[in-house]
Structure 1
């Protein structure tokens, strides 16, 4: 049963009991209507209280029923709410912990609402590219006023119940036991003559609604130009002000149906489910035992090491930071403190938070000081020889059962694990720079990595608020392996006739946060140069564009050097077109005997994005990624792929794999076209008219 019915002193209590968040699945909706009917037909019942079991009133729709017939099977949420409104006995929603989406809409359909302090109240549908479909855009403005409702619906962000205490949403805030307070209120309500109040009968009162709605429309136009849902939210709330209730409800439904069909909503819903799917590992059950992680060690106090350390300090875990030289250690600690103090100056942290986090940090020069840590993460130079030295030492000093993690971005984790006598304890934890900011964490599963190790680090990722995606072992794992193909195409197009600023502008217009050349300048061109030199040594006949090497040979390492693909003024990160780089590129084409040509933006975007897609298909086929949505999560969380396009694999599905394959084969006929050999999986799916993500 997903609802429970009981009678307490003449009041029927309907409890939503559909864990984890009492989602309003079909069985739950049926249970509410049946409970309401039972209460209505029982002369001994004076009132009804609806509440939620466990840690939520209701989190809204049951995501397990998304895209199934049950999601729209009667009674729908709209039917349930109409039944609540029509009840001849007062219905009281007793809200605690979480009332979001359909859960809040359910409460808005009740005659009265009482709430415990601290409950999270929200209509977050806009985050899925939708708007509330159960009357939320029509009832919430009538409950809390135009401005508050519009801000809540357009942002989707939660507000604590006590902040809405005087808004008109709640009839009473309950201190102490919520059910006792709700039952007392229900008896009071039952003593009043009916009919009982319905939000649909309230007016939306605002001194200048038209002007405020226009202001909101202008704000949304500037902030959400790639997303239609916020615009529709404003339209629907305008209908709540300007139209009779039932007309507004009809308009809300029309908007909802239209938004469900948009590619942007499809992309946002894909990302929502992809993030949840990424947390699941097929052969690692949810009940797999986890190792306790009470103390962490980080080896290396450079940019990456200190960023990694801050993730754990932020989560309240003590961190021992190890370096080989006092100056480097002092610089790392000072940089961590400076970052925290900057956050405090911006109001993001309290001064006491800075002190608490710094108190958890223990700097050291001695490996012996990390011996009792439960997890050690190396963040040293990307060299196999350096990693070997570190892991042999970790194997020697770390206690039995400790997890040994590498932050390598490209190197073979199985080789690294082989430097120890405990390969089952070794895992890759590839953080993205800046590590204390970026959401993505690639969890690299080695050949021998223990299932308990995987379960532990996946749970730990949640604790430090990272989106963890599991990758198998290969050069570059998921993200950087695909990125290598992306950059290779960018460099080829420089040889053929494009310039950095054109390529960056084209892909940024497509929606990337940053083009390949601005990205390289930010990260440091010397980092990718070191990786390329390793690959040249391993594969001497590698057919690779060498223009990026020329740039590095000239000392143009990016922003930190004041010169990269662009020129930079001291203290200013603005990328300025460099005549010297233009001359270098044009001269390099001439050396190669290439007649430069005009390359349009469409070709730029297709070559960059389809290079990702084609390599992503190979990664899927090889089992490096478990599912296409994992690849999309890597690119949405770590590489600035536009959220409204859903990631490279969903984008390919949206374009149509037949069309992608045609483009790939067209590029394969160009010079250096061998790199465009279509991935067998792409060919197979395109020919079968299937998709990566379906």
Structure 2
């Protein structure tokens, strides 16, 4: 008996109960008594069968990630030792699964002879999301239970499945209707009385026979499931390991899987993805929100604006089960907005990601109005109107008159001063920025902008409701562009000079996609619409040499078929345009710029280095609470590759000394402030410090 493992005999069945709060992670201090309990049950003649159950809210969430990279991770008994012991048992071993059996938790369950789950249970192997593959037999055992293609899909996606799907697939053997442990004990007793051999998963090869005869279907599945890997090592390693389960004897495939795991866990990509895992947890901890603070109840939401952004925001809440009233100025604008919303849901139905009855249920949660008074019963009202201060203030003036006491008033502004907006109301404590990213019903990031007078319970409510609707919320401070767009401005500050000096748009975009971004900046400009930036520059009294000239030619991007690139009818694939190449050369000649060869490395130094530098300034100014929050913003909202851990983590991999040296170089060449190293960056480089672990 131990603090973490309890054993009871129930009519000849040893019930081994794991209790390692909060999620029963397979830490060394749990593995040791669990191994001993299994050995004791194996050797006890009074025990006819074994049930492994867990206390608390879940079965086993997986390995203890905090042990990775430490001696404890590989100390005996390891998880592979536990799995091997279970497979040698002659008595039936049953895993009783409630909550989640994820990663190492499912691997342990797969090493039992049988699995019984409750109706709400979920099972999965999400290691790929940490830059890893299952390292204790998951890629070798799961294909034997459910077939290699089905196993490949679970392992490469990392997405869990519910108990009903797990039963249909063959991951679990039964679903409990009542008391899970009691029914697992009864299941074990039945199997013990049957008297036959209890065949471990490792010896079940029948689901592999078709793939062993012909790997074509499996290879096609690999190609489809890994096509979006974009330089990530783990999905490919997962596929290779499942293939080994088909082509190699069990023990050889198991040994290869362990080799893959050790290589990945020691690599930069997994370190980066584990950094993001913990960073997302840290982002939920906001200074100034005490344990006594409670969130306000959000039962109904109002959204002002039915355009692309407003419609997407409204869909996000409806998808999360929250009724929404959408306000527009005219019925025609509402009709346009709701036509787009219905079209988006229809696409989801056509793709099979949404059922027709679910679509109908979601649409039923929408209300529409052209009257502000219809928002009077809303608990949260979000404006998504034109990005102009006077327009925002006008909206908030109207809201102040009709919103009920305690209602949260939110602005979706991308750049504007939330404090100025709040000051235009008589309730600044209720005002917060909720910066969604387009398309809002798809993008995960939610920048929660904390004004000087935003109440703590308003912030907590924003965090809570953000998670409820499936977003990754990060609290940031007030400045022009907040965290993400401010850094985006720094990243793009030298893009036009790069073109004028000799780079082409396609070269710059290729450097970005090679780095791991889903698209480059010029393709992104075309997607967003070049006229948006043009209008903003006009309002601010600024210019862009190439950007303005392209817009003056009537080229606004994908929507006009021409922008920085050409787009064929019905295609979103950008094609280089000789007319743009000539324009760039002409503008360079006008300014006496002698064009030269620009290396890929120079493009990185003149775009991503100043972006990091601006992130450091944001940290210095306490706009972000911690460097890891910046990484969460950029990986969830701007496509920064997760395998590089976000810009702050990546900067440490590059070497802070290298960044400072090259920023100094380009500052000397250009005189631009964006290249002048931030004092904190210079200090950390001198001290050999780390940027990703810094707090404000």
TM-score, scaled to structure 2:
0.91
CA distance in 1, matches of 2:214, 2:644: 33
The Cα shift of 1:610 comes to: 1.1
Match of 2:160 in 1: 158
Contiguous gaps of at least 5 residues in structure 1:
538-543
CA distance in 2, matches of 1:338, 1:198: 49
Matched, 1:206 2:209: yes
1:153-552 → structure 2 map (5 Å cutoff): 153-165=155-167, 169-191=171-193, 196-203=198-205, 205-209=208-212, 211-212=214-215, 222-224=227-229, 226-285=231-290, 288-536=293-541, 546-552=545-551
Offset from partner CA, 1:635-654 (integer Å, 9 cap, x none) = 21111222322222222211
Contiguous gaps of at least 5 residues in structure 2:
none
Match of 1:619 in 2: 618
DSSP-derived class of the 2:494 partner: helix
Matched, 1:663 2:662: yes
The Cα shift of 1:87 comes to: 4.6
Matched, 1:681 2:680: yes
Match of 1:106 in 2: 108
CA distance in 1, matches of 2:196, 2:168: 24
Tell whether the 8 Å contact from 1:319 to 1:361 is kept in structure 2 after alignment.
Answer: yes
Q: Return 323-332 or 35-44, whichever deviates more.
A: 35-44
Match of 2:93 in 1: 91
Distance 1:199 1:324, change over 3 A: closer
CA distance in 2, matches of 1:342, 1:143: 34
1:618-657 → structure 2 map (5 Å cutoff): 618-657=617-656
DSSP-derived class of the 1:620 partner: helix
Distance 1:259 1:368, change over 3 A: same
Offset from partner CA, 1:515-566 (integer Å, 9 cap, x none) = 11121122122323344345548xxxxxx75432343444433333444323
Tell whether the 8 Å contact from 2:16 to 2:51 is kept in structure 1 after alignment.
Answer: yes
Match of 2:585 in 1: 586
Distance 1:662 1:211, change over 3 A: farther
The Cα shift of 1:581 comes to: 3.3
Distance 1:515 1:172, change over 3 A: closer
Tell whether the 8 Å contact from 1:88 to 1:195 is kept in structure 2 after alignment.
Answer: yes
Tell whether the 8 Å contact from 1:492 to 1:545 is kept in structure 2 after alignment.
Answer: no
CA distance in 1, matches of 2:631, 2:643: 12
Match of 1:48 in 2: 50
Offset from partner CA, 1:394-425 (integer Å, 9 cap, x none) = 12221111111000000111111101111111
Match of 2:151 in 1: 149
Q: Return 216-225 or 636-645, whichever deviates more.
A: 216-225
Match of 1:541 in 2: none
Distance 1:175 1:614, change over 3 A: same
Offset from partner CA, 1:609-655 (integer Å, 9 cap, x none) = 11211111111121111222221221211112223222222222112
Q: Return 684-693 or 174-183, whichever deviates more.
A: 174-183
Tell whether the 8 Å contact from 1:216 to 1:234 is kept in structure 2 after alignment.
Answer: no
Q: Return 494-503 or 470-479, whichever deviates more.
A: 494-503
Q: Return 573-582 or 55-64, whichever deviates more.
A: 573-582
Q: 2:134 aligns with which of 118, 128, 132?
A: 132
DSSP-derived class of the 1:669 partner: helix
CA distance in 1, matches of 2:88, 2:353: 47
Distance 1:155 1:390, change over 3 A: closer
Tell whether the 8 Å contact from 1:25 to 1:62 is kept in structure 2 after alignment.
Answer: yes
The Cα shift of 1:257 comes to: 0.8
Match of 2:8 in 1: 6
Distance 1:145 1:446, change over 3 A: same
Offset from partner CA, 1:246-275 (integer Å, 9 cap, x none) = 433332222211111222222322232222
Tell whether the 8 Å contact from 1:489 to 1:611 is kept in structure 2 after alignment.
Answer: no
Offset from partner CA, 1:454-504 (integer Å, 9 cap, x none) = 111111111111111111111000110011111211122123222323322
Distance 1:222 1:526, change over 3 A: closer
CA distance in 2, matches of 1:241, 1:353: 39
1:546-585 → structure 2 map (5 Å cutoff): 546-568=545-567, 571-585=570-584
The Cα shift of 1:64 comes to: 4.7
DSSP-derived class of the 1:577 partner: coil
CA distance in 2, matches of 1:439, 1:166: 31
Offset from partner CA, 1:288-342 (integer Å, 9 cap, x none) = 3000000111112221111111111112211111122332223222222232233
How many pairs were matched up? Answer: 688
Tell whether the 8 Å contact from 2:435 to 2:447 is kept in structure 1 after alignment.
Answer: yes
CA distance in 1, matches of 2:139, 2:556: 52
TM-score, scaled to structure 1:
0.92
CA distance in 2, matches of 1:692, 1:134: 33
DSSP-derived class of the 2:9 partner: strand
Distance 1:176 1:417, change over 3 A: same
CA distance in 2, matches of 1:243, 1:525: 54
Distance 1:265 1:312, change over 3 A: same
DSSP-derived class of the 2:443 partner: coil
Distance 1:281 1:77, change over 3 A: same
The Cα shift of 1:214 comes to: 5.1
Q: Return 186-195 or 474-483, whichever deviates more.
A: 186-195
CA distance in 2, matches of 1:334, 1:216: 36
Q: Return 226-235 or 409-418, whichever deviates more.
A: 226-235
CA distance in 2, matches of 1:574, 1:137: 36
Tell whether the 8 Å contact from 2:230 to 2:516 is kept in structure 1 after alignment.
Answer: no
CA distance in 2, matches of 1:344, 1:42: 55
